[in-house]
Amino acid sequence: MKLKVCGMNQNPIEVAQLHPDYMGFIFWEPSSRYFEGDMPQLPQSIKKVGVFVDAPLEVVLEKVSQYGLDAVQLHGTESVAYCSQLKSNFLSFRAQSRNQKVDDENEVSTPLDLTNLQIIKVFSIKDNFDFSVLKDYESVCNYFLFDTKGKLPGGNGYTFDWSVLEHYPSTKPFFLSGGIGLDSVEKLKEFLNSPASRYCLAIDVNSKFEIEPGLKDIPSLKAFKKSLSDFLTD
């Protein structure tokens, strides 16, 4: 079992010292955890995940290139065709620096190698879920992520009924997300010991481990990781 800490903003270096497997950076501007500026130097063992919500394809590609992202998490209503384009081995897009003026004649088409880019498609669950919608995404995504349906695309701070996943029909690995905190440990252990977790690749945490949006509570994250040490893998 792997660990993903999402909503990186104010203290990513401190979070990186805990060696999560994934760290999520949100590129949806309305979010209180919106990330901009320089990407900190992170260990190569940590995969950088860019979180997007119905973003234009060129914006996603630009962020992938700018920040050296290893994965993109699609948290909106992105179609199968959209995911398929990202899944292509090579894409090119027209890019220019946002930090300096560039004449049209100096604007270049930059090849972007997406061979190893991982696609994580998010689906939101409340009390039940129609798993048939996953079928067409099977071939264009590396992973699914199941989050709690709420007012916002993510970070709503409460969990959905994990027993729904007992009916998961796929063999595609998935991330479990939505309101997971220290108070979820015993429930998580029960889930991870159940057949429903068979294809659960990672636990995704965010808002329940914050002092304020984007500022992670390091002692709480340490305690969480320690409490699940029998399940988490290096």
pLDDT tens-digit readout, 184-234: 999 999 999 999 999 999 999 999 999 999 999 999 999 999 999 999 876
Q: What is the CATH number of the domain that holds 61?
A: 3.20.20.70
Which pLDDT score is estimated for 233?
Answer: 78
Q: 10 Å Cβ neighbour count for 103?
A: 7
Residue 232 within a domain: no
Residue 233 within a domain: no
Domain count, the chain: 1
Residue 111 within a domain: yes
- Residue 187 CA from chain centroid, whole number: 22
Of the chain, the percentage scoring pLDDT greater than 90 comes to: 73
Q: Band of the pLDDT at 100, cuts 50, 70, 90?
A: very low
Q: Band of the pLDDT at 104, cuts 50, 70, 90?
A: very low
Which pLDDT score is estimated for 152?
Answer: 58
pLDDT at 1 over 60: yes
pLDDT at 113 over 90: no
Residue 163 within a domain: yes
pLDDT at 97 over 70: no
Residue 137 within a domain: yes
Q: What is the pTM of this model?
A: 0.88
Domain range enclosing 167: 2-227
